[in-house]
Amino acid sequence: MTMATTAESLSVPSYVPHDRVVHFDIYNPAPDGGDVTNAWKALRDVSKPIMWTTANGGHWLTTNGEMLRAVLRNHKTFSSAIIMAPREAGGLSDLLPITADPPRHLPLRALLNEALSPRAIQKIEAELRVYARELIEGFKDKGECDFMADFGRHFPIGAFFRLAHLPMEDYAQLADWMATIFHHGHSDGSVSQEDIMNRFADYLRPIIAARRDNPGDDLISAVASGKINGEPVDSEIAIKICRTLVLAGLDTVMALMSFTMHYLAGDPELQQRLANNPGDVPRAVDEFGRRFPIGINMRVLTSDIELDGVTLQADDLIATPIILHALDETEYADPERIDIDRESGGHTSFGAGIHRCAGTFLARAEMRVMLEEWLKAIPRFSLRPDAEIKVSVGFTTAIFQLPLRWDVAS
């Protein structure tokens, strides 16, 4: 993070106070390869509740929980029509229902509510447990694994594919597309976000057509055969919704699992507590979710508004980095510490307001099943001594290489 240079100041509107300007890239907070959390803390420590960054074309950002909630809960002033900076990126402009504002949003979201309800998730939990055990059995007797390569990249996809009744052999292709969108997978620019979004649409089109004609009890059928205001959902709208589900349902949970297991590998006392008391796992899932939020919500202003003594103007972009709420010392005592006895129900890691994550119940179930089944099979584990932890950045931040080790019973 730096103060804005003369060249960067070109992206600072005249109405932005000088003491609110920094240069901070929310999609690459530690460009020098440093610790990502420390980079966010450095921003928090020198910032006011609302700041302007010159990175990514220039936009506002919130730096504490109070201001973040003020933005996310006010959908009339802060529209979801643009969810990524710079606005020219454009590739993620049609992620329905995320990018839809009221009154359009409610009927689109209603298509998902039952299909992603606790009752729907409970129906596939037994399958999830079997799949988790199968993955773990594949490396348990080796005494080591790369958590992400051997489990973390597979389990969320297996969970979602079971809910959506998608063929597992399509996993590799979809994973590659997600890497391009969220982690700059094609850094040479040969494939754009828009290209990948179109490929997703082409992949889903025949699946949705088939489910419309012969619906099942799966997530995609619920969308394809659903109705909006009493009329059958348009096929292109269904494609956009299902494309969002694939993207939002996979990468974010992988990222949360990566940070959770990285932390847990260094806390043998918590490992023992959770292994001996599985009833505490749901509390742990909530606390890990609070501490390691994934992604950053972007909004675009529909009208002028004053916040924290600063005027934000219509058409400005504003980011709400949830990690800064997680690190907010005014809301959480010792916020960096994992405390599963903490009352953290007010966290915003799954969003806030009308756009709160539709897949919250699925994500929590995946995390709970993962921890329960892992600790049954491998109750004590640690980072491999020579572990080189690699973090990927972008729209979401994740650990993409996580070497773990444990003793194998003779």
CATH code (residue 306): 1.10.630.10
100 found inside a domain: yes
3-state SS of 342-378 is CCCCCCCCCCCHHHCCCCHHHHHHHHHHHHHHHHHHC
The whole-number pLDDT of residue 4 equals 47
The whole-number pLDDT of residue 344 equals 64
Domain of 210, in residue numbers: 8-405
The whole-number pLDDT of residue 389 equals 86
410 found inside a domain: no
Work out how many domains the chain is built from and give that number: 1
Q: CA–CA separation, 57 vs 45, rounded Å?
A: 23
The whole-number pLDDT of residue 308 equals 96
The whole-number pLDDT of residue 92 equals 61
β-pairing verdict for 317-321 and 59-62:
parallel
The whole-number pLDDT of residue 88 equals 74
Per-residue pLDDT of the chain (410 residues; tens, 9 = 90+): 554 444 455 579 999 999 999 999 999 999 988 889 999 999 999 889 999 999 999 999 999 999 999 999 999 999 999 988 998 765 566 789 999 999 999 999 999 988 899 999 999 999 999 999 999 999 999 999 999 999 998 999 888 888 899 998 898 888 788 777 765 544 455 677 788 888 999 999 999 999 999 999 999 999 999 999 899 999 999 999 998 888 776 788 999 999 999 999 999 999 999 999 999 999 999 999 999 998 888 999 999 999 999 999 999 999 999 999 999 999 999 999 999 999 866 899 999 999 999 999 999 999 999 999 999 999 999 999 998 888 888 878 889 899 999 999 75
41 found inside a domain: yes
3-state SS of the chain is CECCCCCHHHHCCCCCCHHHEEECCCCCCCCCCCCHHHHHHHHHHHCCCEEEECHHHCEEEECCHHHHHHHHCCCCCEECCCCCCCHHHCCCCCCCCCCCCCCCHHHHHHHHHCCCCHHHHHHHHHHHHHHHHHHHHCCHHHCEEEHHHHHHCCHHHHHHHHHHCCCHHHHHHHHHHHHHHHHCCCCCCCCCHHHHHHHHHHHHHHHHHHHHHCCCCCHHHHHHCCEECCEECCHHHHHHHHHHHHHHHHHHHHHHHHHHHHHHHCCHHHHHHHHHCHHHHHHHHHHHHHHCCCCEEEEEECCCEEECCEEECCCCEEEEEHHHHHCCCCCCCCCCCCCCCCCCCCCCCCCCHHHCCCCHHHHHHHHHHHHHHHHHHCCCCEECCCCCCEEECCCCCEEEECEEECCCCC
1 found inside a domain: no
83 found inside a domain: yes
Q: Report yes or no on whether pTM surpasses 0.95.
A: no
